[in-house]
Amino acid sequence: MTTQTATDDAPLLVAEGLGKNYGARIGCRDVSLEVFPGEVLAVVGESGSGKSTLLGLLSTELAAGAGRVSYRMRDGELRDLAGLGPAERRLLMRTDWGFVRQNPADGLRMAVSAGGNVGERLMAVGWRHYGNIREEATDWLGRVEIAADRIDDDPRAFSGGMRQRLQIARNLVTKPRLVFMDEPTGGLDVSVQARLLDLIRSLVAEMGLAVIIVTHDLAVARLLSHRMVVMRHGRVIETGLTDQVLDDPREPYTQLLVSSVLAA
């Protein structure tokens, strides 16, 4: 067995017994999961089922009440994220990770040009050559199908779909290994959604990204994900390969979820 297969077999992110309460209410409870390099994991469930809380815990944006999250660093070592210092954690978040938010205004700097938005991460990791930053930004705008002559426009002049694509470019420019996505197609009309999903799917395959995507839309999960996790009342009630879960749901709740969607 070569070293390459050894790393591919090892999980990138491991969550064990994760839990969080909001006062007396349960945000999520006893969630354990693993994400492997290059794998797309969908977290599905209805509103209020704890999906976004789980995403917050996995990305360390929320402090866990119980359990822990470990991440395999680029040196191959699996480390407990709670044990990282703030400097290390922030470096991880702006280099090795990406976070695509439902509302692009939360993930973009709306008063900064598209080029500046894409270039910010590069400058944060020490790029100091304007020409190179611009070239890289132009290249990435092309990859997310934004015309090069829009590079100096700010995102306020962009449509919803363009903003979302810009947000993706901004996150992928440092070639992360893991991207968190919170309802990335929410609020977009159906044709724009389809194009965006296509784009995400090709980028994920091309870059070998691992993705944890939260969605209530089973069609999105079907199109993008390899495996899925079904949540209800803050717990994981079913996991499995996406096709398997959607075509042959075991839990009554999952059956209800699947049957309530038209042609998922």
Partner 1 sequence: MTSHHTGEMPAIRYNFAYLDEQTKRMIRRAILKAIAIPGYQVPFAAREMPMPYGWGTGGVQVTAAVLGPHDVLKVIDQGADDTTNAVAIRGFFEKTAGVATTTATAEATIIQTRHRIPETPLGEEQILVYQVPIPEPLRFLEPRETETRQLHALEEYGLMHVKLYEDIARHGHIATTYAYPVEVAGRYVMDPSPIPKFDNPKMDDCPALQLFGAGREKRIYAIPPHTRVRSLDFEDHPFAVQRFAKPCALCAASGVYLDEVILDDRGGRMFVCSDTDYCAGRQAQGHRGEMAAPAAGQALDVMPGLDPGIHGVPPVLPAQGVDGRDKPGHDGVSDRVGGAGGMP
Binding site for partner 1 (CB under 8 A): 86-87, 90, 105, 109-113, 115-116, 119-121, 123-125, 128-131, 133-134, 151-152
> For partner 1, which is the closer residue by CB, 15 or 114?
114
DSSP letter (8 states) at residue 110: T
Q: Residue 18 or residue 133: which is nearer to partner 1 going by CB?
A: 133
Whole-number Cα distances in Å, 27 to 17, 19, 99, 192, 216: 13, 7, 20, 32, 17
Shortest CB 85 distance to partner 1, Å: 9
| Burial bucket for residue 53 (CB in 10 Å: 0-12, 13-18, 19+) | buried
> Closest separation between CB of residue 228 and partner 1, Å?
33
Minimum separation from the CB atom of position 106 to partner 1 (A): 9
Q: 146 and 117 in contact (C-beta within 8 Å)?
A: no
Residue 134 burial by CB count (10 A; 0-12/13-18/19+): exposed, middle or buried?
middle
User: Residue 91 or 194: which CB sits closer to partner 1?
Assistant: 91
**Would you say 116 or 234 has its CB closer to partner 1?**
116
- The CB-of-110 to partner 1 minimum distance in angstroms stands at 6
CB closer to partner 1 out of 56 and 119: 119
Cα–Cα dist 145/139, whole Å? 10
Least distance (Å) between residue 14 CB and partner 1: 26
Q: What is the DSSP letter of 128?
A: -
Residues in the chain: 264
